[in-house]
Amino acid sequence: MSELTPEDVFRLHPKIRWAAFSTEAGQVKFCQMRRGVKSYTPEEADRYFMQRGPTIMTVISERLTPSGMAGRLESIILSFEKDSVFLTKLKDGYLAISVDRVDALPTFQEISESIKALSA
């Protein structure tokens, strides 16, 4: 996979507010708001989330089905009052995107195949 950029993610859908990518070791490759969009959280909090959150959440979630009978974990959606974050494992790490909560589910459904293609 070539180096993923925030612009690659923002091109997936105009309603994406924020995009971040970190390695499995927690190294944040990017953590960026879409130009002209005001963040609901401080950048330090976003970076901290991407350093630790993806690994913790995916490991805990995968423990829910230790038999593997439900299949492998594909994504996690975190819903807050103002926005929702879609977190998914890609080949080289973890991608997180946020969308205003009211638009989240239809937007995440629209871009799910495009997100999978980012890992190819």
Helix (H, G, I), strand (E, B), or coil: what is residue 6? helix
Helix (H, G, I), strand (E, B), or coil: what is residue 14? coil
Does the pLDDT at position 120 exceed 70? no
**In 3D, which of 98, 3, 102, 120 has the Cα closest to residue 45?**
98
On whether the CB atoms of residues 47 and 65 are closer than 8 A, the answer is no
Does the pLDDT at position 24 exceed 60? yes
Q: pTM (2 decimals)?
A: 0.91
Does the pLDDT at position 28 exceed 60? yes
Write out pLDDT tens, residues 86-104.
999 998 899 999 999 999 9
Does the pLDDT at position 1 exceed 80? no
Tell whether 21 is covered by a domain.
yes
Tell whether 52 is covered by a domain.
yes
Does the pLDDT at position 114 exceed 80? yes
**In 3D, which of 16, 5, 8 has the Cα closest to residue 98?**
16
pLDDT value, residue 116: 81
User: Could you give the number of structural domains in the chain?
Assistant: 1
Tell whether 103 is covered by a domain.
yes
Q: What is the DSSP string of 58-118?
A: HHHHHTT-TT-TT----EEEEE-SSEEEEEEEETTEEEEEEEEHHHHHHHHHHHHHHHHHH
Tell whether 32 is covered by a domain.
yes
Tell whether 1 is covered by a domain.
no
Tell whether 113 is covered by a domain.
yes
> What's the residue count for the chain?
120
Q: What is the residue range of 75's domain?
A: 6-118
The chain-wide mean pLDDT, for the chain, equals 92
**CATH code for position 42:** 3.30.450.30
pLDDT value, residue 72: 80
CB atoms within 10 A of CB 91: 9
Tell whether 91 is covered by a domain.
yes
Tell whether 36 is covered by a domain.
yes
Pairwise CA distance, residues 27 & 12, whole Å: 23
